[in-house]
């Protein structure tokens, strides 16, 4: 059971940690000062949520949360490819956040029914915080959709780019069947697709963006992030993420 739970906790923590780092790259570079504060706050939230999941893993296995966050190699990471992509322009950041936050909202609702009570109890608190992330992304999506010219073009380009990586969110890692059998996961991640598609369509169609609502889930033919296979972009990200920690792993940060 510990091995199965480890995969669940790592994939969830890694999604949050990697996206949090990408969001932090906007600090001092967001479109205006209020948004600079907002995106920095989102980054802090994501990284804090990753810490919560890693602490659960520590309680379960005794592994050190800081070492899990900073010292694992790329092949040991379980985040989806979508979250390791460079931050891109503002439209890409907004669309990626909305796509991921919809997925995470669904994942949290399922994890709230996990038979592993410490996880289910933590999720109930995180759900409230994550709802603000989704609300923030929705407002920006609506604002960009109302734009014309370059704003609209950038939004459409971002939608196409994000949708290429969205299936990787639903990729299943090791031990999924056992996790479902034990109730650690109430349902398999690929079964969350229809919920995500309905929520995604509910946002895009009223904005005249129905062309970017996919009909079906096409999972990658080759293993992806959930199974430890990543892009070179993750290696670059981890170098920046862990630079200070690696300078003195024994220090108390």
Average pLDDT over residues 234-250: 92
pLDDT at 85: 98
Residues 50/24, Cβ–Cβ less than 8 Å: no
Q: Is residue 96 part of a domain?
A: yes
pLDDT at 110: 96
Residue 140: give the domain boundaries: 2-68+86-213
Q: Is residue 79 part of a domain?
A: no
Average pLDDT over residues 7-15: 97
pLDDT at 137: 95
Q: Indicate if the pLDDT at residue 136 is higher than 80.
A: yes
Cβ partners under 8 Å of residue 114, min gap 6: 120, 123, 183, 184, 185, 186
Q: Indicate if the pLDDT at residue 50 is higher than 90.
A: yes
Q: Is residue 209 part of a domain?
A: yes
Average pLDDT over residues 56-64: 96
Q: Is residue 205 part of a domain?
A: yes
Average pLDDT over residues 95-107: 97
CA torsion sign, 176 to 181 to 185 to 187?
positive
Q: Indicate if the pLDDT at residue 124 is higher than 90.
A: no
> How many domains does the chain fold into?
1
Q: Is residue 31 part of a domain?
A: yes
Q: To the nearest whole percent, how much of the chain has pLDDT over 70?
A: 99
Q: Is residue 116 part of a domain?
A: yes
Q: Indicate if the pLDDT at residue 228 is higher than 70.
A: yes
Q: Indicate if the pLDDT at residue 95 is higher than 90.
A: yes
pLDDT at 1: 85
Q: Is residue 224 part of a domain?
A: no
160-219: pLDDT as tens digits:
999 999 999 999 999 999 999 999 999 999 999 999 999 999 999 999 999 999 999 888
Average pLDDT over residues 55-60: 96
The residue written with tokens 């990408």 in the block is 22
* Residue 6: C-alpha distances to residues 63, 67, 74 (Å): 10, 15, 16
Q: Is 87 exposed, middle or buried (0-12, 13-18, 19+ CB in 10 A)?
A: middle
Which of 47-51, 124-128, 136-140, 169-173 has the least mean pLDDT? 124-128
pTM of the entire structure?
A: 0.96
Q: Indicate if the pLDDT at residue 253 is higher than 70.
A: no
Half-sphere exposure of 52 (CA within 13 A, CB side): 20
CATH code, domain with 157: 1.20.1260.10
Q: Is residue 154 part of a domain?
A: yes
* 70 vs 181: CA distance, rounded Å: 32
């Amino acid at each position: 059971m510990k091995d199965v739970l480890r995969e669940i906790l790592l994939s969830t923590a890694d999604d949050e940690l990697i996206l949090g780092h990408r969001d932090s790259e906007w600090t001092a570079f967001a479109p205006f000062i209020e948004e600079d504060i907002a995106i920095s706050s989102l980054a802090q939230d994501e990284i804090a949520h990753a810490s919560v999941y890693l602490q659960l893993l520590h309680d379960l296995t005794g592994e050190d949360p800081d070492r899990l966050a900073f010292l694992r190699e790329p092949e040991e990471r379980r985040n989806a490819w979508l979250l390791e992509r460079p931050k891109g322009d503002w439209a890409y950041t907004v669309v990626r956040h909305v796509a991921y936050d919809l997925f995470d909202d669904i994942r949290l609702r399922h994890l709230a029914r996990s038979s592993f009570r410490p996880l289910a109890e933590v999720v109930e608190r995180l759900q409230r915080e994550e709802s603000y992330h989704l609300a923030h992304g929705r407002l920006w999506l609506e604002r960009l959709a109302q734009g014309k010219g370059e704003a609209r073009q950038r939004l459409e380009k971002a939608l196409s780019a994000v949708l290429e990586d969205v299936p990787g969110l639903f990729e299943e890692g090791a031990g999924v069947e056992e996790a479902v059998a034990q109730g650690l996961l109430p349902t398999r991640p690929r079964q969350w697709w229809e919920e995500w598609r309905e929520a995604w369509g509910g946002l895009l169609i009223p904005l005249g963006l129905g062309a970017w609502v996919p009909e079906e889930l096409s999972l990658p033919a080759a293993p992806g992030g959930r199974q430890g296979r990543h892009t070179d972009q993750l290696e670059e990200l981890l170098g920046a993420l862990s630079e200070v920690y690696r300078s003195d792993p024994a220090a108390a940060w």
